[in-house]
Structures are given as C-alpha cells and as structure tokens.
Structure 1
C-alpha cells in the first residue's frame, strides 16, 4: 500500500487493496481457529514445534516473524529516516507512551480486574512491559502509517527494551506493590536474552530490508524497485503473519481451549488496555499537530505489545503451565483481532479528522 499526502475515504483505500488485504480479518480468524484446532487435536504437535528454538522462541514462529517483517522493512525509504529522527514531538510522545504510561496502565488494569489472580495479574504486567517491535509494522502499513517513522520508533523501543525491561519488571512486580501494600512477585530476566531477541527479530529483517532497497535501487533505480520488486515481495508479509498466528495458537491451543473462563477474565483488562492506549495515543498525536501518517504510527506503536517476548519471559520464569504463561498467550488472542479492527477505525478517522496534511 502507498501513503498519500491527501486523506482518502476508507472505502476508497479498502477498495484498492488486494483480496488478501481486503479480507485480512477473515484470514486471521481462520488462522487463529486453525491453530487452536491443531494444538488441541494433533497429539505431539506442541513437542515437535518446540523442539528447536531461536532466542527462546519456537523456530517456526521465529521464521514466521522474520518473513513477516522483511517485506515491510524493505518498503522503508531509509533516506527519509533523518527527517523522522528530528521530530521531537513524535519521539518524546512515543517514549512517554511506551515506557511510562503503557506499563503503568497495564499494572493498574491487572490489579483492578485480576486482584484475586496473582499468576494472571503478573502475566499481564509482563505483557505491558514488552513493547512492540515486530507485528506493529504490519498494522501500521495496513493503516497507511508512516513507514519511516515506524522503523525509527521500533528501533527506539528495541533499545529501551534491552535497557529498561528488567528494571521495570523489578519495579512493577516487586517495588511498587510493596509501596502500595500489595503482594508482588519477582521477575528474573536476563538483559542479554532480551538483546538477543531484538538482534534476531529486528536486526535481521531490518538489515535485509535495508540491503534489498539499497542494492535494488542501485541496480535498477527507485521507480523499478517500488513499482516492480516491492509488489512481488509484499504479500510475503501477510503470509508470514498468518503462518505465525497458526503456529502460535497451535502451540498454546490446549491451554486456551481448556480454560475459556480464565481467558475471558484475562481478556477484559487487555481489551481495556488496547482501547485506551490506542485512542489516547491517537488523540495525543492529533492534539500535538502530527499528520495522519505519524499519528497512526504513534497510536499503533504505543498500543501494540511484543507478545513473543512476554510469552518467552513468562514461560522461562514461571513455567509453561503457569498462570503467567496463559496470560501471555491470551495477549495475541486479544491483540491481533483488536488491532486489525483498529486499522479500519484509523482509516475511517482519516477522512474526518485530517482534512489537511499538517505536521
């Protein structure tokens, strides 16, 4: 998809999409259902999928994430990144939303909705600490957000994730509950493990995307690259997304389907979190004068979470059958359909709120 300077009606934007893009909510729903059924009814599948891991994550999921991110990062015009880096309103807003408001909001919602479920509560807090660095590039692209801004904010989140995840985990699970006379739980996570995940799941597709654009434009020019090559590799992003969803839900299908009541309880604070973070970030972007593309990017990068990291940390720290792990697994179960719906909300708001291209 392409980003234009002038806003277009959502029906016009959707009408230009391929069949794969246009019916994405349906494909995602089918992928989730297929994964749940596979995980529930195919014996030994979980063991086979978990046999080989990359950075603590199942190899099939790792491949799906890399395939998913590469085409979108190949679309980024890296010669425009400097202009994004100079936008202090965007960068400061993103840091505040992601590393102050987001974790604090999830902490509050976890205690409000799950005060009597310490395992699920801790799992949700971990989800809130894991800021999105992967799937957000898909939602941003579908909503016609600013690709260059998304690349910068994802890189920024990656750096802060390495530096701040463990510290914030200690604060929200040990220090703050003590101050508030609440019972907390310790979180033991290695900064190197987080850094390794960032290097693999952001570094590899980012380097591949950059080199593809640089070599492609050098060989045949930007016009050929964007009109011929990108349309050929572009669909791989959504194929990778659907594959990742199938494998993810296949791995956790039994846990989800065996405890539907618990999943429903976990879903309530997650729904509130995604709605508040996205709407609040979107309103903030509009209030500080960002254009549609950067407002959209700000909203999706603030609302999304790195559920791959959250699940890995929850399982590694508390065990695969723990309540913390189930809460982590419920994250993408709620996040994926909600953020897909918000793509369409964003496109609808584009026509109503952004009548001029302002920065």
Structure 2
C-alpha cells in the first residue's frame, strides 16, 4: 500500500480544510470553475475524473473474464451482493437514517439529495483500491482481477437503471439525459479508452511499457483526486462550517452498509464452501465503492453544491479506515472460516483430485 493509500483519510481531511479555506477566500474562482459547463457537464471536473479513472482502468484486463468460471462460488456471491443487495440496502439505510432518524439535524432542502448521493455511492462497485485490500488479505489475484473486470462490464449496463430506479423510489426526479450522459462519459468512454491504450502499450513494449506508464499515471490520478476534493469542499464549505455534524451523520449509513455487506458476502462464501483466499477479496469487493465514479455522477446530476456530492465525498473520507478494519476481521477469522463444514468438504475434495 502506497503512502497515499495508507493515509487517504488524512489527505481527504487536509483537502476539506484547504477547500473550505479556498472557497472562503477565493469565491469568484470557484464560481468561474463551476460555470464552465457544456450539456450539464462541468468541463474541469470531467477532465479530472478522466485523469482519475483511466489509469485505474488501464490495469484491468477484460480477457480475465475467461477465468470467471474457476471461482464461480465467489463470483456468484460478489455479484449478488454488489448488484442485488448493496444499492438497495444503502437506499433503505438512507431512508431510515437520513430521511427519518437524522432528519431534524440536517438541512431540510438537502435531505433528498443526501439520500441520492448515498444511492449513487453504493451503485458503483470499487475498481482500484480493491487490489490493495485483496493483497492485504492474501487474496487470490486471478479472482480479484476477473471479479473487477466483470463488475466493470456490468456497470456499463446496470449503473444507470439501478440509480434511476432507486432515485425514482425515493421520489427524486431523475434527469435521465444527464444520468445516461454520465454513464457514457465516466464509464463507457474511460473503459474503451483504457482498453485501447492498454492494447497499444502491450503491442509496443509489453509489461515493461505498462509498468513505466502506470508509474507516471498513478501520481496524476492521485493529484486529480485531491484537486477534485478541494474543488468540492470549496463549494461545500459554507454548509459544512454551518453544520459540521453533517459529515458524521452521513458516515453512519455508509459504515453500517460496509459492515453489513462485507459480513454477508463473507458468510455466504463460507456457506457455499469457497476458499478463504477468494472469500476475503469477495467480502471487500462486496463492501467497497468506486467513489471516483460516484463523485462524478453526483456532481453531474445534482451539482457541486448538492448534498449528493457531499455524501459521496464522505464515502471517500471513511473508505480507508473502515476497509482496513474489514481486512483485520477477515485475517483474524481465517481459522473460524476454514472450519466451516462446506469449506472443509470442498478442501478435501480438491485435495483428492
């Protein structure tokens, strides 16, 4: 894990301070940046998002989808959690906590927007950081790669319908043209561009060329994320200063969602008899979020000043500490996991082959 990844929460905290200060002292600059739009897409933000996402997607080899059948139990569990449970459980938690329990403590005009941001956050399974979490639990790398590739492929067709459905159920007006444009800009275009660039790199230098390019792109991706966060908090500063508890309240459903879905994925893998080296990354993939995409979609749909944008950024804030706690649980519980009847049975069957 790089220094940036290890201390992501610290960097986000510093970006909050820097963004709030910049928004207070340079309001005209932020208003100018916010006005640079075309077809409801903020141009500076679109560029930053591409610089964040494309380096991550260059790592993904979609040819690894051929290996999906080797880990069918873990793949099945993770897909079930990511697409049939996580977005819907987050919507429920958002309605319960933000729409009901915490409602008196939050700005009334932003309630629906906060819930929308939580839904968008949960509808995008993690892509990049998953490789870090998988390594920390000694996960099967081929499973992790094939699962991420499959999730990215599903995201192309499932992200917009799921977000649209849940926003509609929340009585939030769905700007379908903007939602579909966001999918095209922040999923389809980066995936296609990254895969074409990946093929070109391997055709003109192989693995060495790939490693050289990634060593350059990774810092650019990190810098783009930090600049994006400063911009977001520059627009959100007044709201946060007025009610700093908003961040803590938004973190509650996110934390519950992570532990709920990671625990369920881990348990289902144990029940089906999957190996621990697959169950670990399955649980982590099932719980974590593609927050870069979520931030971009929330801004495109609701704007910089929206509660939706703030809710997705809170997801970035809590990502590292909460996922590291899940890593700790997975590692410490390996003995309990491998003592499961189905796991022992499948282990004996593999040994006998």
TM-score by length of 1: 0.74
Greater share of residues in helix: 2
Which of residues 178, 183, 189 in structure 1 aligns to 2:174? 189
What pairs with 1:1-12 in structure 2 (closer than 5 Å)?
none
**Offset of 1:294 from its aligned partner?**
6.9
Aligned partner (choices 190, 195, 202) of residue 210 of structure 1 = 195
Query: CA-to-partner distance for each residue in 1:14-34, whole Å, 9 max, x for gaps?
Result: xxx444444433323222321
2:315 aligns to what?
A: 335
Aligned residues: 321
Normalised by the length of structure 2, the TM-score is: 0.75
> Higher mean Cα deviation, 98-107 or 245-254?
98-107
**Corresponding residue of 1:47:** 31
SS across alignment from 1:130: helix
Instruction: Report what 2:344 is aligned to.
Output: none
CA apart distance, 1:332: 3.0
Aligned-residue RMSD, C-alpha: 3.4
Q: Which of 135, 143, 149 does residue 133 from structure 2 map onto?
A: 143
- SS in structure 2 of the partner of residue 188 of structure 1: coil
Structure 1 residue corresponding to 2:325, chosen from 328, 333, 345: 345
Q: Secondary structure of the residue that 2:27 maps to in structure 1?
A: coil
Could you give the per-residue CA deviations for residues 307-354 of structure 1, whole angstroms, max 9, x where no partner exists? 432344345xxxx77xxx32x233134211211113433544564456
- Which residue does the alignment assign to 2:204? 219
Where structure 2 has 5 or more consecutive residues not aligned to the other structure, the ranges are 136-143, 339-346
Partner of 1:254: 238
1:129 to 112, 119, 123: 119
Give structure 1 stretches of 5+ with no counterpart: 1-16, 174-185
Matches within 5 A, 1:1-359: 17-53=1-37, 56-84=40-68, 88-90=72-74, 92-113=76-97, 114-115=99-100, 116=103, 119-131=109-121, 136-144=126-134, 146-170=144-168, 172-173=169-170, 186-222=171-207, 224-285=208-269, 287-288=271-272, 289=274, 292=277, 295-296=280-281, 299-300=284-285, 302-304=287-289, 306-315=294-303, 325-326=306-307, 328-349=308-329, 351-353=331-333
**8 Å CA contact 1:61, 1:248 repeated in 2:** no
